[in-house]
Amino acid sequence: AQSVTQLGSHVSVSEGALVLLRCNYSSSVPPYLFWYVQYPNQGLQLLLKYTTGATLVKGINGFEAEFKKSETSFHLTKPSAHMSDAAEYFCAVKGTGRRALTFGSGTRLQVQP
Amino acid sequence: GAVVSQHPSWVICKSGTSVKIECRSLDFQATTMFWYRQFPKQSLMLMATSNEGSKATYEQGVEKDKFLINHASLTLSTLTVTSAHPEDSSFYICSARDGGGSPAGEQYFGPGTRLTVT
C-alpha cells in the first residue's frame, strides 16, 4: 500500500522568497514520485518526477525536488517565488505494481507581493 | 508533451438525468485511462481504471452501476454519471497513460469537467 502526506495545507511566502512544500510518502516498493501543480478549475500539470538515478530532480518553472529515501521524503523547492506560482500543489506516489497514482491532500501556495 | 482533452469542461444537469463526459488522448494511444474525482479544496480520489477493450476496475466504494465507464478505443474513454444527484456534483478529471511510455507510467491529465447537479 502507498500513501502520501503533505505537511501544511496552506503555505504563504513573499515574492522572491524560498518556496518549500513538504511531502512524505509510504511505499512498500521502490516508489516513483511526482509533483503536480493545479491552477483553479484546471487539470494537473506535471512539475517533475523521480523514477531512478539522481535523487535531485529538476522540473519546470524553476522547481526542484530531492528524493531522500532515509527520510521517505520528496520535498519541493524553488529558490525565488513568483506571483504566478500561486496554485495548488500535489505530491503523488506510484508503486511499480500499481499503475494509478496516489495523491497527497495538496498544498495551496500563496505568494504575497 | 502529450495532450488529453475532456468534454464538456462544465455541465449543469437536473437531478435524475444522466451525463456523459468524454476523455480523449489527442496525440498518443492510451492503453489505460484513469478517472478521478475531486471535491472542492480536496485531493484527487481515484474512481476507476479503464483499459481499452475491457471492463473498468472500480475502486472500493465507487458504484459501478452509477458511474459507467467505457474505453472503446485507444484514444477515447467516457464516464457516464447515471441518475445524477446533487451529491454527484464534483470536478471530474481523467488521465491517460501512454502505452509506450516509460516504466514510471507518467500520466497526462485532462483539464477536468465541473459537474453541477441541481
Q: For residue B97, give how far its alpha carbon lies from the nearest alpha carbon of chain A (Å).
A: 9
Q: Judge whether residue A20 has pLDDT over 60.
A: yes
Which of A99, A103, A104 is nearest residue B105 as measured by Cβ atoms? A99
Contacts of B111 in chain A (CB under 8 A): 42-43
Contact (CB<8Å) B106/A46: yes
Tens-digit pLDDT profile for residues A97-107: 667 888 999 99
Note the pLDDT of residue A53: 86
Tens-digit pLDDT profile for residues A55-94: 999 999 999 999 999 999 999 999 999 999 999 999 999 8
Contact (CB<8Å) B112/A99: no
Q: How far apart are CA A76 and CA A20, in angstroms?
A: 6
Contact (CB<8Å) B106/A104: no
Contact (CB<8Å) B46/A41: no
**Interior/surface letters A41-53, b for 16+ CB within 10 angstroms, e for the rest:** ebbbbbbbbbbee
* 8 Å CB contact between A91 and A65: no
Contacts of B4 in chain A (CB under 8 A): 43
Q: How far apart are CA B29 and CA B24, in angstroms?
A: 9
Contacts of A51 in chain B (CB under 8 A): 102-104
* Cβ–Cβ contact B25 with A under 8 A: no
Contacts of A34 in chain B (CB under 8 A): 106
Contact (CB<8Å) A32/B104: yes
What is the number of residues in chain A?
113
Average pLDDT, chain B: 90
Report the DSSP beta bridge partners of residue B31.
Answer: none
Contact (CB<8Å) A43/B6: yes
Closest CA to A90 of A78, A106, A72: A106
* Residue A26 main-chain phi, psi, to 5 deg: -135, 125
Q: List strand residue ranges (DSSP E) for A1-113, in order.
A: 2-5, 10-14, 19-21, 24-27, 31-38, 44-50, 56-58, 64-68, 73-78, 87-95, 102-103, 107-112
* Cβ–Cβ contact B7 with A under 8 A: no
Q: Judge whether residue B105 has pLDDT over 90.
A: no
Tens-digit pLDDT profile for residues B65-80: 999 999 888 899 999 9
